[in-house]
Amino acid sequence: MPLFTSSDLSRFYSQGENEISSERPLFVDRYSPTIVNLTSNYTLPDYVLSIRRVTWLGWKLDPLPQRNFREVFQSAPQVSQPFWYIYNNVGQNQIQLFPTPNVDLAAGSALWTTDIPNCVIVEFYRATDNATFVLPPYIKRQLLKAYVAKRAYGIDGPGSNVKLQAYFGKKWDQLKLEFYELLDDLYGKPRKLVMNEIVSSNYFPGEPVLPIGQFGVSVDEGY
């Protein structure tokens, strides 16, 4: 009889990927709500972790904290094209468009291309779905098997092993740190687009010289 069931290993495999996507913004997705006339509050999917931007017919809306909304606008209702979205103290995974929309807009489908000027788009960091939004294949198996081993050796039963659990726990933390550093380099490190100043003409290649056997036979001038 195996020490660990396949259902437990699969569950841990998915949980490890979910932990990474929750700790470090990694997966970018877009969502388009159906806009209803005179309705300002809209609920986002549960997998939305943080909003990157909101656009109205291609125009970017500015984020507006609830406190600033109360202080500046005194919660006064206004109906027009929205210029802001209120993102906190509205409700769980909800945003409020302000001013309140005065038109009906259908949800878009081609959110990265042709539907950008035709609908409202919320771009956000999301949690993994363990199917489409997953870790890159070059690191996924190596990274997640450490998490699976850490969790598996912590289950009460014949497979329990405190030393192995601690070992794979440290390995998991180290692999995560290396992966996060790689992401920081890929997304945040400035690129070198300009060459350094050339301080010596020796940088350029010299004139081409034929091999010694291809100079031909020398003769005196005039012959």
Which two three-digit tokens encode residue 76? 């006064």
What average pLDDT is seen over the chain? Answer: 87
Say what the pTM is.
0.78
pLDDT band at 210 (very low <50, low <70, confident <90, very high): low
At 4 the pLDDT is 87
Task: Calculate the alpha carbon distances from 200 to 38, 196, 197, 208 in Å.
Answer: 69, 12, 9, 19
> How do residues 6-56 score in pLDDT, each as one tens digit?
999 999 999 999 999 999 988 999 999 999 999 999 999 999 999 999 999
Report the DSSP pairing between strands 84-86 and 59-64.
Answer: parallel
30: β partners: 123
At 159 the pLDDT is 86
Residue pair 31/50 in contact (Cβ under 8 Å)? The answer is no
> How do residues 99-145 score in pLDDT, each as one tens digit?
999 999 999 999 999 999 999 999 999 999 999 999 999 999 999 99
Residue type, 158: P
At 14 the pLDDT is 95
> How do residues 45-101 score in pLDDT, each as one tens digit?
999 999 999 999 999 999 998 888 888 887 677 899 999 999 887 777 899 999 999
